[in-house]
């Protein structure tokens, strides 16, 4: 993995990689893709160091981790949302100005119409060939923004709802109620016997 760090001239990118490695466990191709998507979004949305950002990842694999370690967008603080479409795609936005109902976001996708220009990397992306993370990341360093597509969208700002807590009539545990339900999701789930 040190070999990859030598190939990167940008000291900021090197520092970011050094933070990702202990957090994710190693520098996976997916984590590197997340890092490139983050840096692309920073330029497109003029994201500054102090800005809080909100991220929706469309896969659980690797991609979410750079956002958690580098910008503090975590699942617990609602900065990170995972909607698993099984896609190498993210949607990123800054906090909306007060009172706004929508906010501008950018959706970035690892685009197969573009990765096709890098046949070995494309074969990895389509899961048709096994290559090492080092090799895949080398292609990504060369390609840079050239394998991504992106567009701006307006997304609704989530409205904060008042939490309604109730006690489950089956198990007696408390849960956050979405409507008028009186039995918790744990008790309804047939897998929990």
Residues that bind Zn ion (CB under 5 A): 168, 170-171, 184, 187
144/173 with CB nearer Zn ion? 173
60/192 with CB nearer Zn ion? 192
C-alpha to C-alpha distance for 23 and 18, rounded to whole angstroms: 9
Q: Do 56 and 82 form a contact (C-beta atoms < 8 A)? A: yes
Integer angstrom CA distances of residue 179 from 8, 163, 190:
52, 11, 21
Q: What's the closest the beta carbon of residue 163 comes to Zn ion, in angstroms?
A: 17
131/187 with CB nearer Zn ion? 187
Q: What's the closest the beta carbon of residue 67 comes to Zn ion, in angstroms?
A: 33
170/176 with CB nearer Zn ion? 170
Q: What's the closest the beta carbon of residue 192 comes to Zn ion, in angstroms?
A: 9
Q: Do 64 and 31 form a contact (C-beta atoms < 8 A)? A: no
Q: What's the closest the beta carbon of residue 75 comes to Zn ion, in angstroms?
A: 23
Report the DSSP beta bridge partners of residue 90.
57, 108
Tokens matching residue 135:
């090799």
Helix (H, G, I), strand (E, B) or coil at 149: strand
């Amino acid at each position: 993995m040190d070999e990859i760090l030598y190939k990167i001239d940008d000291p900021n990118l090197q520092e970011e990689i050094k933070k990702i490695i202990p957090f994710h466990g190693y520098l996976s191709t997916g984590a590197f893709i997340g890092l490139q998507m983050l840096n692309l979004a920073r330029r497109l949305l003029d994201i500054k160091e102090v800005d809080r950002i909100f991220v929706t990842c469309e896969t659980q694999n690797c991609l979410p981790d750079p956002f958690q370690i580098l910008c503090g967008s975590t699942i617990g603080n609602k900065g990170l949302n995972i909607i698993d479409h099984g896609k190498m795609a993210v949607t990123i936005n800054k906090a909306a100005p007060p009172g706004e109902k929508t906010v501008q976001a950018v959706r970035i996708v690892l685009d197969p119409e573009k990765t096709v220009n890098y046949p070995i990397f494309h074969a990895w992306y389509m899961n048709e060939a096994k290559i090492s993370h080092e090799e895949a990341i080398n292609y990504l360093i060369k390609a840079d923004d050239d394998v991504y597509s992106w567009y701006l969208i307006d997304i609704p700002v989530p409205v904060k709802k008042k939490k309604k807590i109730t006690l489950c009539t089956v198990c007696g545990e408390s849960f956050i109620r979405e409507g008028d339900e009186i039995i918790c999701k744990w008790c309804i789930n047939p897998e929990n016997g």
